[in-house]
Structures are given as structure tokens and as C-alpha cells.
Chain A
Amino acid sequence: MGHPGQTRRDVVSCIAALCTVAGTRRAAASQPELRFGLTPVFLTSDFELLDRLRSYLEDATGIPVRLVTRRTYQEITSLLLSGQLDAAWICGFPFVANHPRLALVAVPHWQGKPLYRSYLIADRDRQVESLDDLRGDVHAFSDPDSNSGWLVTAAALARRNLSPERFFGQTIFTYGHRNVVRAVASGLAMSGSIDGYVYEVMRETEPDLIARTRIVRQSDLLGFPPVACPASAADDPRTKRLRSALVGMGDDESGRTVLRTLRLDGFAVEDPSLFDPIAAEVAILRRTAG
């Protein structure tokens, strides 16, 4: 009150500061942001992880990044195909199904390989040894567009000329690998099809939940869910910057933190033929359905 001049000076500098901040924001917003889609192929429920991933990608690419999550794989796939996403971490099944229209950006390496398995899980106390023992079950699938959470089991049944609807008593889609574990652990479902990678990570993060289930059968090794982009944008500079950001994740401290949280070794550029076994399963399924 006793120094009005000083107060006025403060107000002016405050306004100047505000203008600077607003200007920065406007400048960032003016550059088209990188829209990166995520599916529940990994633990999307971890918001801290999502924040870290976003800030790493922004730092590494120099482009503002927006992470987009949807409930189902199909929504993300549609957004990606329609060009509303620049890239997305999708499952091998949608990639294979839409191969000519989608291109690989990078594939995660887990336990040294860009490969993972699908698990059939059941209640800990059930005496079941194979898929055949699960006949009539209430079976939890992850997502109708998931390789490990649907396609592997459906293809295995297709080889026996069966469909999940006929083989199982009831099928439930939980739209998340973690939800498959919850459904089986709670008793809502008697068995489930789940991503082996998610299952193994949960073994560390949620051992109590995992302890109430057991693995009935593991599939052969299959291509790990990849990061894909529309084929038309495969050679876009923004895509290249994203690819190098992903591949170089292991060289950066915050990137390593993200990888450590994801229990991944890193990302690498792989040949689309990595996903041929999945394509073969799709073919079996189509033949049976046909």
C-alpha cells in the first residue's frame, strides 16, 4: 500500500510473463501434434507410465505428442486407418488383417526377442491340462481383435473345426488383458485367453491376482504387438522421428525408465514377415468360417 509504484511495476512484469507463457503455448499448439494411439496390449491403466512415455516421445521427437486410448482395439485400428492417428501400438492381429494399409514403425523386444506367447489361463485350483479340458467353460477373451486374447484360441479351435461360441458355454470380452486375469481370478470366468507378456508383467506387479490363476497352455512364439502407422505415412519425417525415438529409447535415461516399467528391452525395426505365423492363424480361421 505504501509503495504504489512498485506494485504497478510488479503488475506490468506479471502481465509480460503471462504473455510469454501464452505465446509459447500458442507456438506449440501451432505445430501439428503427433497423435499416438494405445491399445490395452500393455498396462494402459498406469497413468504415470503414460505421462513418462508422452514426455519421452515429446523430448525425443521434438513434436507435441497426444496419447489416444480407446476401449477396444477396433476403435484404435479404425482411427489409425482413417488417418486420425499418426501411429498406434496395436496388436499383431489387426496389423496382419490390415497389412497392406498399415506399415511397421517399430517392434518391442521382450526377453531379447520381438516375440511373445498367448496363454490359456484358468483358476488356480482347476485340474485342467489342455484346451480340450475347457469345454463348456465361461471363457474370458480380451478383445475380438486381439491376437493373444482371442485369435490364438479361436484358431486352435478352428483347427478342431470348432468355434469359441460352440466350444465354450459362455464367452466374455473384457477389453483388456488385465481384465481377463481379474475375470478368471474372481471366478466370473472359468478360463481365459491372455497376452503372455502382460501376464508375466502382472506376475511382478500384481502377484496376488496372478496367484489365483494358473497357466493351462502356452502358444508358440508369435510376433510382439507392434507400433504401426498408415502405409501412406510410412516415409513421413514425423514417422521417422517417432521410429528413431522408439528405437533410441534405450539410449535415454527417461526412455530406459519407461522401458524398465514396461519390462521391455527396447524397440527395433523388424520385417513384417515376423507376423506371418499370425497371418497363418487368420487364414485358418477364415477357412473354417468360410
Chain B
Amino acid sequence: MRTVRIPLAIRIPAVVIVFMAAIAVFISERVLTRLQEAQTRHLGDLATVYLDGLAPALVAPVVREDVWEVFDIIDRARQTHADLKPMETVVASADGRVLASSDPRRHPSWSPLPSSFLAERTTAPTIASNETEGRAVARRDLSSGDRIVGSVHASFDITPLLAERRSVLMTLIGTNAALTLVLALTAWLTVRRMMRPVRVLASHLMASPEGPVEPIPETLVTTAPREFRGLFAAFNRMAEAVREREALSRHLAEEERLASLGRLASGMAHEINNPLGGLFNAIDTLKEHGERSDVRKRTIDLIDRGLKGIRDVVRTTLVTYRADRDARSLQRADIDDLKLLIEPEIRRKGLVLQWRNEGFDEVRVSPSVVRQVVLNLLLNACQATPPGGQVSLRATVEDAHLVATVEDSGSGLSDSAHDVLAGRRDQAVSASGSGLGLWMVRRLVREGRGTIAVTPRLPKGTTIRVAIPFAREEGLADVA
């Protein structure tokens, strides 16, 4: 699940708002509860005073069931308690009938006590509030001696109390909202101010991938908060280091480009040099045994193939740099030719060469590519194998691929050579020049969309297997 990251400049004010709201709710609840308690107590006191004031005067007329006098007392009391606002006062007999009420039309004498008044007998004045109706009712029993002779009830208008509570609530909400807003705004401004150096840093960091890393201007560093001054300085040091490295990289890249040109020239010289040895041998043979027609014919053939090899190298180079392709397909003889090219080296080092080239006559792969790849691998194998060792080639066709496997009994490929073949590094050219051949192998195989697999050979040596897929029909074009 992806979490949405909210900016600090929003998050902190939001936390402030939530925090303040929680405090506001808590405080408001406390204040209102206390206010309600105070109001209830006040109302209870007023009701008690009111009912207690009425009670002694009422006992005798209630006992006599003197309707007029009861009415007269509560009617006068209503006038004197004008500020308390008893809405209604009802005096009931012990059997629960109204003797007289302050509003006889609503509660006529001798009617049952209305259910809105408290029916339970109480020893002390009792008050019950009904906030939805905005009234509170109080009851006090009238006793003469030990006997309850009746009860006096009063209902009070508590809407002013509720209005006061509502007004306090509104004030609390208003004050808290204003306070929360001010604090949230302050928090937002503070966080924005605090985050300014971070934004500066971020903008400089973000700019880096596209353009050069720019150090933070000195004026910003000096005006930044103390905590950020060190950070900015560190960033500037890093930016400086990155700039230096970029300069070095550019320098190295330039050198690399020159080295590549050297490698190419070296490769070409190498490839031309290989058949040259054979050609000179052939010319020696012609000088010595030129009169013998069979030798002459064979040698001339050899010279022809050697010159063709040189032509192929040139063509390969052209292929490499012109991205053209051979017009013709690979023939088995193209690979067998290499045997002639490699034999001088084999003989010189006294190696044993095993040669198996079978399973096809002609396949649609570039002969120059295959020849260069195989030649380079063989030369490399010869170089790696100590005198008296064994070098072998096996060329065959598998699943529309030409597969050439070269084995040697040398000391194994170095890590750097391994990396070159695997394409992990480009610049590894060993002093002996062996690496150069491998670099070209990898490059050519990749162009032919082929694969290279390197495995150790038991008990010693290396096996390098190259597979190059057959080209599609239209893939071959004349380059000569």
C-alpha cells in the first residue's frame, strides 16, 4: 500500500489543529459541566428558598382546603419572586389533587396533579430539569407535625440558563477556533521558515541529475540557521568533489576514446599479421619447391586464402564501422582456413590441436564475424596454454545457431578476461594484448546477437562456447 506523504508544512499545523481541538473539546466539556452543575445548584437553591418560603404559610390553608387563601399566597409569591421566574406554582392536597395553582385555567382546583410535576414524595425539596422543554420542576412536601398534608410544586423557566450555557459554548467554540487558527498559522509559518534551508538543499540536490552540481551560494550559507550551516558546507564539499570527479571522468573518457582507436588499429594489425606469417611461409615454400607443381598449386591456394583472410579482416573492420554485412554465407572451409592460420603458432609452442568442424556445409551467418571470433579465441587459447598443452576447436550447428567451442589446458581465464567476455568491462586491455582479442570477440558476438559462455575445463583449462544465430533472409548484403 502506498502512503501519501503530506508535507511537514501541512502536517505540523494539522497536528496543532487536532491537538488544540482535543484540548478545546476537553476544556469545553469541563467548563460546560461545571457551569451546568453551578446552574443546577443555583436553581436548586432558588427553588428551595422559594418553596421553603411558601411552605409555612401554606400548611394551614391546605389543611383547611381553603382554595382562595392558597391561591392568594402563591399569587402574591409569584409577584414578589419576579426575578426567579417560577412559571407555575401548584399546591396539591395529600391525595394528589390540585388545591390551587398560579394558573387556575391550566390547572383548575380539584383536578389531578399534572404528570409534568414530580409525583414522588420527598423529604427534602427536589428539583428535576427537563432541558428539551426548557423547564425544571421542584417539589416540596407540606407537613404538619408528622403528617404530610400536601405538596407545593413549582416549575421554573430554565431557558435563560440554557441560553447562557449555549452562549458560553459559542464563546468557547469561537475562542478556541480563533486560537487554533492562529496557532496553526503560526505553526505553518514557523515550519515553512524552518524548512526553507531544506528546500534550498533539495532544489540543489534535484538539479544535480540534469545539470552540474551547483554549490549553495555563500550568502545563503551564512544566513542559514546554525544547524544547517554545517549541512550546507558538507553539501558544498560534496558538490566540489562531484565536480572534480566529473572533470576526471571526462578526461578518462577522452583517453578511453583514444585507447579504443589504438585497440582497433592493434586488432587490425594483429589480424593482418596472423596470415602474414603463413603467407611468408608459403612464399618460402614457393622459393624452395616452386618447381613442383603440386606444391606450387597448394601454396598458391594457401596464399590466396591468406590474402582473402587479410581482405576479410579489412572487410570485418569495414563491417564493424560501416555496420554492413557479408554478402555470402559461412562455409565450412571458412573455418577450416583458420587451421592454416593457427598452425604456425601451434607448431611454435609445440601444442596439440584437435579440430572438429562438421555438421554443416553452409549456414547464414557472417563468415568474417565467425572467423574473427574463432581465430581470436584460438590465438588466445594458444597463448594461455603452456608448451605441450592441448587446444581444441569444435564447430557445429545446433537449433539454428552456429556453435563454436574452443578449449585449452591453460591456467584458466583471468577475472579481467572473464569480465571482458561477459561484457562487464570494456577497458581491460592487458599489456600482452590477449585482452584485446577477447574484447573484439565480445563485440562481434554481440553484433551477431550471439551468446558467450565461459566454463572451467577439467582438470585444467577453460571452455569458451560461442553461439551465433542464423541471420534472416534479408540480413546479408554485399560489402566488397
Contacts and interface: CB of A to CB of B under 8 A. Distances in A.
A40 to B, nearest CB: 13
B110 A179 contact: no
B109 A138 contact: yes
Please classify how large the interface on chain A is, using the bins under 10, 10 to 19, 20 to 34, 35 or more.
10 to 19
A172 B71 CA distance: 11
B362 interface: no
Among A174, A183, A186, A188: residue with most chain B CB under 10 A: A188
A173 B68 contact: yes
Interface in A43-61: none
A70 B72 CA distance: 17
B68 A172 contact: yes
B394 to A, nearest CB: 129
Given A138-B109, A170-B109, A186 B71 contact: yes
A140 interface: yes
Nearest to A169: B110
Contact of B75 (A140, A172, A182): A182
A23 interface: no
A83 interface: no
A212 to B, nearest CB: 11
Interface string B93-132: 0000000100111001110000000000000000000000
B67 interface: yes
A144 B110 CA distance: 22
B100 A188 contact: yes
A140 B67 CA distance: 10
B110 A170 contact: yes
B109 A186 contact: no
A86 B100 CA distance: 39
A182 B102 CA distance: 12
A175 interface: yes
A216 B70 CA distance: 27
A207 interface: no
Please classify how large the interface on chain B is, using the bins under 10, 10 to 19, 20 to 34, 35 or more.
10 to 19
Contacts of B105: 186-187
Contacts of B68: 140, 172-175, 179, 183, 188
Interface string A258-289: 00000000000000000000000000000000
Contacts of B71: 183, 186, 188
A186 B104 contact: yes
Interface in B63-88: 67-68, 71-72, 75
Contacts of B104: 186-188
Interface in A110-125: none
Contacts of B75: 182, 186
Contacts of A186: 71, 75, 103-105
A170 B108 CA distance: 12
A132 to B, nearest CB: 22
A173 B105 CA distance: 19
Contacts of B110: 170
Contacts of A174: 68, 72
B404 to A, nearest CB: 126
Interface in A209-240: none
A138 B103 CA distance: 15
A140 B71 CA distance: 12
Contacts of A175: 68
Contacts of B100: 188
B103 A187 contact: yes
A174 B73 CA distance: 12
Contacts of B103: 186-187
A172 B72 contact: no
A179 B73 CA distance: 12
Contacts of B72: 174, 179, 182
B418 to A, nearest CB: 117
A179 B76 CA distance: 12
A171 B68 CA distance: 10
A174 B104 CA distance: 15
Nearest to B105: A187
Interface string A188-205: 100000000000000000
A199 B81 CA distance: 28
B295 to A, nearest CB: 156
A198 B68 CA distance: 19
Interface string B417-441: 0000000000000000000000000
A249 B6 CA distance: 99
Among B68, B71, B75, B100: residue with most chain A CB under 10 A: B68
A192 to B, nearest CB: 11
Nearest to A180: B68
Contacts of A170: 67, 109-110
Interface string B43-77: 00000000000000000000000011001100100
A186 B68 CA distance: 11
Nearest to A175: B68
Contacts of A187: 103-105, 108
A141 B105 CA distance: 19
A140 B100 CA distance: 14
B60 to A, nearest CB: 13
Interface in A160-180: 170, 172-175, 179
Contacts of A188: 67-68, 71, 100, 104, 109
B109 to A, nearest CB: 7
A187 B105 CA distance: 5
A173 B67 CA distance: 9
A139 to B, nearest CB: 12
A183 to B, nearest CB: 6
Contacts of A179: 68, 72
Interface of B: 67-68, 71-72, 75, 100, 103-105, 108-110
Given A172-B68, A179-B72, A187-B103, 9 more contacts: A138-B108, A170-B67, A174-B68, A175-B68, A183-B71, A186-B75, A186-B103, A186-B105, A188-B100
17 contacts: A138-B108, A170-B67, A172-B68, A174-B72, A175-B68, A179-B68, A179-B72, A182-B75, A183-B68, A186-B71, A186-B103, A187-B104, A188-B68, A188-B71, A188-B100, A188-B104, A188-B109
Shortest beta-carbon contacts, A-B, top 6:
A187-B105, A188-B104, A187-B104, A174-B68, A172-B68, A188-B71
